[in-house]
Structure 1
Amino acid sequence: MSTNPSDMPITVLGAGPAGLATGLYADRQGMPVRLLEAADAVGGNARTLRLGPFRYDTGAHRFHDKNDEITADVKALLGDDLRRIDAPSQICWRGRRIDFPLAPVDLLRKLPPSLLARISWEQLSIPRVSTDADHFREMAHQSYGPTLADLFLLNYTEKLWGADAERLSPRVAGDRLEGLDLTTFFLEAFGSSKGKARHLDGSFYYPKHGYGQIAEATANALGRDHIRTGTRITSIAHDGTRVEAVTVNETETIDVETVVSTLPLTLVLRLLDPAPPAEIQDLASSIRFRHLRLAVLGLDRPRLTPNASLYFPSRHVPFTRLYEPTNRSPDMAPDDQTVVVLELPCHRDDAAWSRSADTLREEARALLAAQGLTDGDDIVAFDHHTVPFAYPILEVGAEKTAERLGNYLDRFENLHRLGRSANFTYTHVHNLYARAKTLASRLASGERERDRSTAARA
């Protein structure tokens, strides 16, 4: 007896934020759903991990209040555990710490007058262009002036992405650089609080027990029985127009009807059976992702800094960013102790990817000492963690390549893609939840239309 397609669950590949949100909103639309996750826990690259009594996130995550509907949904999931936090960040520059986003009063105190004069002159005299820049360096120079861009943006960007700024797309920054232009600079200096950019005060939402609590709460609301962990997708079978089945762990074949993939775009293409044409495979091999190694230190002191994050633009520093989870929530560490995480972006063929734990620990200790933060005597715990596919590298031309690859996958009428890696784009969790909600509504409308057609034929 054949299975009625309308009775088959939506199959979601991956239980990171995009997959969990899809499952939750699909379930709320009354559709059966199952999530297949390779790891032994949900959350993807937005998990909270434990190091003895310390908690830390797999990234300097924060929940942005930029979509009222999604903020309300996440608040409903976490209740009072979702807190508004005010913890600004700083850039470590030539032995000084510069507030980020940049603040006029802070710059007046910390930059030489000659440098301030040059920045102001560039902001006032350099014409702004209406057309898109060809690459990130051009965009940064046009938007903020060469001096400001060279001091605080370009070195850091090149460290983070592992590519020259002239090879990177202007879109590589996402919306993280809002507030650096002259308009918001003067609003922050002289305007009312209502006129400021929303993020200039360093305000955001963060869960009591770490960012991964959003994923855990979403999984609990969906129901853990809908989620299978330890199920790595090893093959995706298709007939040229539809995905017919997925194989997990190389042994179990699961028939599918509707598939939502949150897996990296290149991985899906590699798993297709039959394989894509050679041209598509070559295109897929040309786009890259940036991975992270995390060095985690538990410290026997109440706080290391007052900041959400410290950024290190200098090329002489191996790490790009330090974040202190206890400045987001005091429940991330025991009383009178704190935990810090240092991010080291790299590719799999970089020496940093295979660097020993002892070397990573010593590099982290040396940086804290060089910054005058601690000599390392108060380090009571250490761990390291890898975060694969942390960032899609938006090189010039990569967006068009990703679009071509996406167009190829669009031929499979029952395959949908959602997420940062799945669509090779830089985005945030509130956007993922919004798109998942829209997708679930669209899928539910299709199901209802199909049911009406079936009933009419009967």
Structure 2
Amino acid sequence: MTRPPHIALLGAGPAGVAAAYRLATTRPASIDVFERAPRPGGNAASFQIDGVWCDIGSHRFHPVAEPHVLADVKALLGEDLLLRPRHGRIRLQKRWIHFPLKPADAMLRLPKPFAASLLADMVLKALPRPAPATRNFATVLKGGLGPTIARDFYFPYVKKLWGLEPEDLAVKLAERRVSGSSITKILRKMAKQIPGLGSETDGKFFYPRKGFGQIVTASEAAAKDRGARFHYDTKIVRIEREGMRVKALRIEREGREERIEADHIWSTIPLTTLVRLLDPAPPAEILASAQAMRFRGMILIYLVLEQDQFTEYDAHYFPELSIPISRMSEPKNYSAAREPKGTTVLCAELPCDPGQAYWNMSDEELGRLYCEWLAGVGLPVTAKVRRTETRRIGQAYPVYDLQYEDHFNRMDAWLGGLEGLLTFGRQGLFAHDNTHHAYAMAYGAVDCLTADATFDHGKWAEYREIFETHVVED
């Protein structure tokens, strides 16, 4: 190919924007990014409420990111990228425990019956025992952490998050979502909290001054400076293919439909959506698998309070089923922002699917319930509530039920046979990942684009094996 390859990227979330940035800075390519929303970031975007930078949920950029990814993010943000201490709390059996868990809290704050049961689990774990008859999220977590932590923390939490019993969730969820998957790993993490035993970044995270979404907007700006084109408020109507090769996109913007030809179409949109956009349609069994896979929804409730600060903590975690929200964050505490005076925002994450009762409630109703839930756990809202805002996310988390892996593998194998098409990112690979993982996937994709503009599928297979080892940092 004598001209630079034309690459069409679907989705301007972290993976799509990172791919555009990496392409623009390391490859001769013509780059177009198509996004349905009016701005970049996807579920990692930020916005302001009454002068307070807020995120779509709780986000952190973790120091364990691949060195070249972290180096780029540091270069893009400069002094706006802050290194902040983790300072959260978990409510466990009506007690607040620091998160990440600190040795002092483990000794002094853990409920005595819980601590005694935990010690018993550690003793019993050393004894030989038969393997469980079936392997699922519940049996794997019990085997690794013991019954106490599994029963009193993880099981109610995952039931709230995914709306399924732990026994109905796949082993892969434990492998991808639980970084402290054994007592030994938890003790190692605790030990790193002791001064002198950990690195300078243990127990800390990176966070931008202007919200987590600043990482994506800085990447987008740098990609634009190097010639990448971003098209917002643009709907993907269909993806044309001839046999087993994709040829072009049909997009709709400003009321007009256009046809865009591309040498490579790289998708970071939900895998299930991608399958339905293909024209001609895939085989019936591929469409059936796409129909069977689902995402968990989420309502984000933003309570705007007329006070400087609600608590000193960045995040509160609620594993109990008695309170419907799973986590609450106070955005100002992530960046230690002192402005604006007299205003703070509390963001609650309420797992909920479209069509369920909470989904159809008004912002005012959800705000009133939010205050009631906080009062019930000893965090009464005493300041004036200026107002409540919400964001509803229909596809927040991939649901790893017991059948998902068969469906995913079937779709993944068929899509992998389409020449000119690549899918990656959290949504594109139906993966539980952090933002630094999404950036690593994007960088890996670009690394597989050869000098003659072909795609090295062998190298991509090696990257996919690496992606399988990603574990979500809590």
1:359 aligns with 2:356: no
Structure 2: distance between partners of 1:342 and 1:240: 47
Moved more, 315-324 or 301-310: 301-310
For residue 10 of structure 1, report the CA deviation from its aligned partner: 0.5
- Structure 1 partner of 2:399: 393
1:40 aligns with 2:38: yes
Structure 1: distance between partners of 2:323 and 2:454: 56
For residue 259 of structure 1, report the CA deviation from its aligned partner: 0.6
- Structure 2 partner of 1:110: 109
For residue 377 of structure 1, report the CA deviation from its aligned partner: 3.8
For residue 431 of structure 1, report the CA deviation from its aligned partner: 1.5
Gaps of 5+ in 2: 457-474
The equivalent position to 1:425 in structure 2, one of 431, 453, 467, is: 431
What's the CA shift string for 1:22-62, capped at 9, x where partnerless? Answer: 11111112222110011100111110022222221012110
For residue 163 of structure 1, report the CA deviation from its aligned partner: 1.1
- Structure 2 partner of 1:136: 137
- Structure 2 partner of 1:76: 75
- Structure 2 partner of 1:146: 147
Task: Give the residue type in structure 1 aligned to 2:231.
Answer: R
Structure 2: distance between partners of 1:365 and 1:153: 25
For residue 247 of structure 1, report the CA deviation from its aligned partner: 1.1
- Structure 2 partner of 1:49: 47
- Structure 1 partner of 2:464: none
3-state DSSP class of the match of 2:281? coil
Structure 2: distance between partners of 1:199 and 1:161: 31
Structure 2 CA distance for partners of 1:270 and 1:373, relative to 1, 3 Å = same
For residue 174 of structure 1, report the CA deviation from its aligned partner: 5.4
Task: Give the residue type in structure 2 aligned to 1:417.
Answer: T
Structure 2 CA distance for partners of 1:394 and 1:266, relative to 1, 3 Å = same
What's the CA shift string for 1:57-100, capped at 9, x where partnerless? Answer: 01211001112211111000100100111032211234321223
1:97 aligns with 2:96: yes
For residue 6 of structure 1, report the CA deviation from its aligned partner: 3.8
Task: Give the residue type in structure 2 aligned to 1:50.
Answer: Q
Structure 2 CA distance for partners of 1:200 and 1:177, relative to 1, 3 Å = farther
1:274 aligns with 2:280: yes
Structure 1: distance between partners of 2:242 and 2:374: 55
For residue 432 of structure 1, report the CA deviation from its aligned partner: 1.6
Q: Normalising by the residue count of structure 1, what TM-score does the alignment of the two structures yield? A: 0.90
1:230 aligns with 2:227: no
What's the CA shift string for 1:127-179, capped at 9, x where partnerless? Answer: 58999972111122111111121111110111001111111123324555334
What's the CA shift string for 1:345-376, capped at 9, x where partnerless? Answer: 12223222222212111111112222332335
Task: Give the residue type in structure 2 aligned to 1:390.
Answer: A
For residue 398 of structure 1, report the CA deviation from its aligned partner: 1.0
Structure 1: distance between partners of 2:274 and 2:181: 37
- Once the two structures are superposed, the pairs formed by residues 212-227 of structure 1 within 5 Å of their partners are 212-223=213-224, 226-227=229-230
Contact 2:141 2:181 in 1 (8 A): no
For residue 115 of structure 1, report the CA deviation from its aligned partner: 2.9
- Structure 2 partner of 1:287: 293
Structure 1: distance between partners of 2:73 and 2:56: 20
1:17 aligns with 2:14: yes
Contact 1:22 1:440 in 2 (8 A): yes
- Structure 1 partner of 2:468: none
For residue 186 of structure 1, report the CA deviation from its aligned partner: 4.2
3-state DSSP class of the match of 1:163? coil
Structure 2: distance between partners of 1:332 and 1:424: 38
3-state DSSP class of the match of 1:302? coil
Contact 1:365 1:376 in 2 (8 A): no
Contact 1:65 1:204 in 2 (8 A): yes
Contact 1:187 1:195 in 2 (8 A): no
3-state DSSP class of the match of 2:449? helix
- Structure 2 partner of 1:163: 164
